Amino acid sequence: MAKGVHSSGVHEDTVRRLWWAALETLQADILLPMDPMQGLWIAAPLPALYETRLLDRLKGWVWAPEELASLHSPNGNLLLPKRCNSISKQNLPGESHYRRMPLREDDGYDPLLIIITPQIQIALSLYGSNGKRHLLMRSDPEVIADLLKILDLRIKDESHLHALELRRELGNLGELKSNNDLEKMFWPRLAERLAGMAPSLTFQAMPDKQSNSALIEDQSSALTLLEALTHEVRTPLATIRTLIRSLLRREDLSEIVETRLRQIDTECNEQIDRFGLIFNAAELQRQPQEKSMLARTDLGKLLRLLSPTISDQLERRGVTLNLDISDDLPQVLSDPERLEMMLGGVIDRTSRGLPPGGNLTLRLRPAGHRLKLQLLSELPSSHKSELSNGEKNSALGPVLSWNPNTGSLQLSRAATQRLLASLGGRLTDRRDSALTVFFPIAGCNI
């Protein structure tokens, strides 16, 4: 698939954004309008196909990590949605739609999706090393036929029955033929979707030179699974958001319907951002990279620009935001694009445990050769005793922690510290009441 691809490419955050947009483009803009009655699909490392109508009609074969069916929480429950808790160790949610095969350790985790119908044949995949990543799309019969031959040998090696079934389904579809209009349709539609996507769909795995390589190796499978699950959460949320925004263009919506749709859109945005940070943290823990270049960033201006959105988010929980930023502050060294999402995650982590009536103060002050950003949380008077006692979260590996009383899931302190360090920040905190991040001032030798 990668034959003829130039050595230049894009970073992980951009190529993942391309992948999610490509899945939406292929399913919503191409396959569903064609309404195929038969066909097949092959995917790894998860079932990238998610449209129900397609799943009901097309037969699938999926290579998936064994850990997806065997990862357990400390209490013994599967770390999957409630509706999936009754599945057996050999099955995956919704496996009635496809045949599951084990992903080997040396297979890698770049996604692959091949779809064959009487109307079209198409293969999508990600390819390339760090900084040179590509979204590959091929629809020419020669390449598709070569891919199917390779995959047929692999499936035959694992399950003779699955291989026979795949050959039978391919035979029923007839000879592969080229659709010259497919590429002309796919890339422009993909560009339209990318143009309409909010920046919140951009997720970047950030570097950390001090990661513990031995720990990363031991926990690689669980972290890879976490990345896969966050992708599986974000993909349908992005689809819901797309549908919501298409509805909001209508002029015949009542006021109450429009209000509810905007609330759903906002919630989708917040959860996409939240799971994007979890993906970042898992990727950073599993695959540490060289530190990225930091640039001059006006942190005070960034906080003021974000404050209306943050305030609205907190107000829905009954929490008040106070902004306390000194004037004429110098710029800091960071990455403004990635810092925006990270600040949202830090604020969410600090404020999520605040009950209605609480206050969150963002205070930005000079501190020698650094700027000191403080997040100060204040409980209402009726909950003051909770602040001193401090509810201790339970660790779920190196990336996540959760509050067993409320069920709130968030980044662990260590994961938050690593992500901030990759953006030039140094994190300190004091129980659950205060969190401080120091950013180096641009031009100062520290």
The residue behind tokens 């009609």 is 57
So what's the pLDDT on residue 87?
Answer: 29
Task: Say if residue 126 is in the same domain as residue 22.
Answer: yes
Task: Say if residue 111 is in the same domain as residue 190.
Answer: yes
Task: Say if residue 147 is in the same domain as residue 236.
Answer: no
Kind of pairing between the strands at 59-64 and 40-44: parallel
Task: Say if residue 268 is in the same domain as residue 410.
Answer: no
Count Cβ neighbours within 10 Å for each residue of 43-67 and write b for 16 or more, e otherwise.
Answer: bbbbbbbbbeebbebbbbbbbbbbb
pLDDT digits (tens, 9 = 90+) for 164-182: 998 999 988 888 777 778 8
The residue behind tokens 């899945």 is 23
Domain membership of residue 1 (yes or no) is no
| The two three-digit tokens of residue 123, written as one number | 């293969």
Backbone angles phi, psi at 344, to 5 degrees: -60, -40
So what's the pLDDT on residue 113?
Answer: 94
The residue behind tokens 């599951």 is 100
Helices (H), 292-374: 299-315, 336-351
**What single-letter DSSP state applies at residue 93?**
T
Q: Please tell me the distance from the alpha carbon of residue 113 to that of residue 44, in angstroms, as a whole number.
A: 7
Task: Say if residue 109 is in the same domain as residue 235.
Answer: no
Tell which of 263, 286, 309 closes a domain. Answer: 286
Task: Say if residue 410 is in the same domain as residue 353.
Answer: yes
Amino acid at 160: H
So what's the pLDDT on residue 122?
Answer: 94
The CATH number given to whatever domain includes residue 374 is 3.30.565.10
Task: Say if residue 22 is in the same domain as residue 114.
Answer: yes
So what's the pLDDT on residue 406?
Answer: 58
Q: Please tell me the distance from the alpha carbon of residue 444 to that of residue 371, in angstroms, as a whole number.
A: 11
Q: Please tell me the distance from the alpha carbon of residue 24 to that of residue 242, in angstroms, as a whole number.
A: 9
Task: Say if residue 304 is in the same domain as residue 395.
Answer: yes
Task: Say if residue 155 is in the same domain as residue 174.
Answer: yes
Domain membership of residue 388 (yes or no) is yes
**Cα 80–Cα 105–Cα 2 angle in degrees, nearest 5:** 105
Domain membership of residue 445 (yes or no) is no
Q: Please tell me the distance from the alpha carbon of residue 291 to that of residue 362, in angstroms, as a whole number.
A: 27
So what's the pLDDT on residue 212?
Answer: 41
So what's the pLDDT on residue 77?
Answer: 31
Task: Say if residue 251 is in the same domain as residue 185.
Answer: no
Domain membership of residue 206 (yes or no) is no
> What is the number of domains present in the chain?
3
So what's the pLDDT on residue 322?
Answer: 93
So what's the pLDDT on residue 387?
Answer: 46
- Checking phi first, is residue 240 left (phi over 0); if not, alpha (psi -120 to 50) or beta? alpha
Other Cβ atoms closer than 10 A to 403: 16
Domain membership of residue 309 (yes or no) is yes
Tell which of 171, 196, 221 closes a domain. Answer: 196
So what's the pLDDT on residue 356?
Answer: 87
Task: Say if residue 68 is in the same domain as residue 123.
Answer: yes
Domain membership of residue 417 (yes or no) is yes
Domain that holds residue 277: 213-286
Q: Which neighbouring-strand residues pair with 176?
A: none
Domain membership of residue 230 (yes or no) is yes
Other Cβ atoms closer than 10 A to 139: 20
Q: Which neighbouring-strand residues pair with 332?
A: 297, 441
| The two three-digit tokens of residue 142, written as one number | 């020669």
> Residue ranges of the chain with pLDDT lower than 50?
69-96, 198-218, 387-391, 432
Tell which of 196, 228, 249 closes a domain. Answer: 196
Nearest to 396 by CA among 204, 226, 229: 226
Domain membership of residue 5 (yes or no) is no
Are 296 and 331 contacting, i.e. CB atoms less than 8 angstroms apart? yes
Task: Say if residue 319 is in the same domain as residue 230.
Answer: no
- Residues 236, 242, 245, 249: is their CA dihedral positive or negative? negative
